[in-house]
Structure 1
Amino acid sequence: MNKTFPLLQGYRIMQIPFQSSEQKRKNSLYPYQENDIEVLFEKLSNGGNNHRVLYQLATGGGKTVIFSEIANRYTQKYKKRVIVLTHRHELCKQTSNALKVTGVNNKMINSAVKRIAKKELYECYVAMVETLKNRINDGLIGTENVGLVIIDEAHHNSFHKLLGKFPNASVIGVTATPFSADVNLPMKQFYHELVIGEPIGALIEQGFLAKPHTYGYDVELNTLTRGINGDFTVRSSDELYASEVMLELLLHAYKEHSLGKKTLIFNNGIFTSRKVFELFSAAGLPIRHLDNKTDAASRVEILKWFKKSKGAILTSVSILTTGFDEPSVQSVILNRATTSLTLYHQMIGRGARKLPGKKKFNIIDLGNNTERFGEWDEPIDWKHVFENPEIYHHTLNKSVEDIHQMPAEMRTRFSNSKEISFDVLSAHQAAIENGKKAKTVLRDSIHQHALMCANNADSVCTAMELFEVLDKEINWRIKQYGKCIGTVSKNYIKWLGEDYRVRVKVLIEKIMSRRALMRTAV
Structure 2
Amino acid sequence: MYQLRPYQQQAVDAAVAHFKKSRKPAVVVLPTGAGKSLVIAELGRKARGRVLVLAHVKELVEQNHQKFESYRLKAGIFSAGLARKESEHKITFGSIQSVACNLDAFNEPISLLIIDECHRISLNEESSYPLVINHFKKLNPQLCVLGLTATPFRLGMGWIYNYHYHGMVRTLAPRPFYRCIYELPLRYMLQHGYLTPPMLDDTPLIHYQFSELSCAEGFFKEKELNQCLQTQKRITPLIMEQLLEKASDRRAVMIFAATVKHAREILGFLPANQSALILGETAEHERDQLIQRFKQQQLKFLVNVAVLTTGFDAPHVDLIAILRPTESISLYHQIIGRGLRLSEGKKDCLIVDYAGNRYDLHQPEVGELRPPGNTEPVQVLCPACGFANTFWGRLTEDGTIIEHFGRKCQGFLDDDEGEIELCDYRFRFKECRECGAENDIAARQCHQCQATLVDADKQLKEALKSQDTLVIRCCGMSFSAEQEKLTIHYHDEDGAELSESFRLDSPQDRREFQQGFLRFHWRSPGNEPEFHSCSQIMALQSMFRAPDFVIARMQKKRRIICDKLFDYQGRYRRAYELS
- Match of residue 335, structure 2, among 325, 328, 347: 347
| TM-score after normalising by structure 2 | 0.57
Cross-structure match for 2:17: 42
Cross-structure match for 1:514: none
- Give the aligned residue type for 1:298: E
Across the aligned residues of Structure 1 and Structure 2, the Cα RMSD in angstroms comes to 3.9
Does residue 432 of structure 1 match 2:420?
Answer: no
Question: 1-side partners of 2:266 and 2:314: how far apart?
Answer: 21
- Give the aligned residue type for 2:188: A
- Point out the structure with the larger helix share: 1
Higher mean C-alpha deviation, range 180-189 or range 60-69: 180-189
Structure 1 segment 242-253 matched on structure 2, within 5 A: 243-253=232-242
Higher mean C-alpha deviation, range 188-197 or range 150-159: 188-197
Does residue 211 of structure 1 match 2:179?
Answer: no
Q: Report Cα offsets for 1:395-449 as digits up to 9, x if no partner.
A: x24249999xxxxxxxxxxxxxxxxxxxxxxxx99943486845389xxxxxxxx
- Give the aligned residue type for 1:267: A
Asked if the contact 1:241–1:336 (Cα under 8 Å) also holds between the matched residues in 2, the reply is no
Cross-structure match for 2:75: 105
Does residue 85 of structure 1 match 2:85?
Answer: no
SS in 2 for 1:34: helix
CA distance 1:489–1:327, shift in 2 (3 Å)? closer
Shift, 1:123, TM fit? 1.4
Asked if the contact 2:79–2:85 (Cα under 8 Å) also holds between the matched residues in 1, the reply is no
Cross-structure match for 1:376: 361
Cross-structure match for 2:421: none
Question: 1-side partners of 2:6 and 2:211: how far apart?
Answer: 46
Cross-structure match for 1:65: 38
Cross-structure match for 1:465: none
Q: Report Cα offsets for 1:14-69 as digits up to 9, x if no partner.
A: xxxxxxxxxxx25x33232233223322332x224x34321010011111221122
Q: Report Cα offsets for 1:463-514 as digits up to 9, x if no partner.
A: xxxxxxxxxxxxxxxxx9999986475364799636xxxxxxxxxxxxxxxx
Cross-structure match for 2:91: 124
CA distance 1:276–1:34, shift in 2 (3 Å)? same
CA distance 1:258–1:113, shift in 2 (3 Å)? closer
Question: 2-side partners of 1:109 and 1:400: how far apart?
Answer: 47
Question: 1-side partners of 2:234 and 2:474: how far apart?
Answer: 35
Question: 2-side partners of 1:349 and 1:115: how far apart?
Answer: 31
Cross-structure match for 1:338: 326
Asked if the contact 2:77–2:84 (Cα under 8 Å) also holds between the matched residues in 1, the reply is no
Percent identity over paired residues? 21
Q: Report Cα offsets for 1:230-262 as digits up to 9, x if no partner.
A: 211222223334642331342254146433312
Asked if the contact 1:223–1:236 (Cα under 8 Å) also holds between the matched residues in 2, the reply is no
Question: 1-side partners of 2:276 and 2:264: how far apart?
Answer: 9
| TM-score after normalising by structure 1 | 0.63
Question: 2-side partners of 1:316 and 1:277: how far apart?
Answer: 10
Higher relative contact order (CA 8 A, sep 6+): 1
CA distance 1:61–1:309, shift in 2 (3 Å)? same
Question: 2-side partners of 1:496 and 1:350: how far apart?
Answer: 43
- Point out the structure with the larger strand share: 2
- How many correspondences in the alignment? 382
Higher mean C-alpha deviation, range 65-74 or range 55-64: 65-74
Does residue 142 of structure 1 match 2:107?
Answer: yes
Does residue 287 of structure 1 match 2:256?
Answer: no
SS in 2 for 1:173: strand
Asked if the contact 2:275–2:299 (Cα under 8 Å) also holds between the matched residues in 1, the reply is no
Shift, 1:269, TM fit? 1.5
Question: 1-side partners of 2:201 and 2:18: how far apart?
Answer: 41
CA distance 1:131–1:285, shift in 2 (3 Å)? closer
- Give the aligned residue type for 2:60: L
Shift, 1:209, TM fit? 0.2
Q: Which runs of 5+ in 2 are unaligned?
A: 123-128, 163-174, 377-472, 480-488, 496-546, 550-563
Cross-structure match for 2:213: 224
Question: 1-side partners of 2:198 and 2:348: how far apart?
Answer: 6
Q: Which runs of 5+ in 1 are unaligned?
A: 1-24, 386-391, 404-427, 442-479, 499-522
Asked if the contact 2:161–2:179 (Cα under 8 Å) also holds between the matched residues in 1, the reply is no
Question: 2-side partners of 1:231 and 1:221: how far apart?
Answer: 13
SS in 2 for 1:259: helix
SS in 2 for 1:194: strand
SS in 1 for 2:254: strand
- Match of residue 364, structure 1, among 336, 346, 352: 352
CA distance 1:481–1:187, shift in 2 (3 Å)? same
Shift, 1:140, TM fit? 5.1
Shift, 1:161, TM fit? 5.0
Question: 1-side partners of 2:347 and 2:323: how far apart?
Answer: 24
Cross-structure match for 1:468: none
Structure 1 segment 253-272 matched on structure 2, within 5 A: 253-255=242-244, 257-261=246-250, 262-272=252-262
Question: 2-side partners of 1:279 and 1:250: how far apart?
Answer: 10
CA distance 1:98–1:286, shift in 2 (3 Å)? same
Question: 2-side partners of 1:206 and 1:185: how far apart?
Answer: 28
CA distance 1:226–1:359, shift in 2 (3 Å)? same
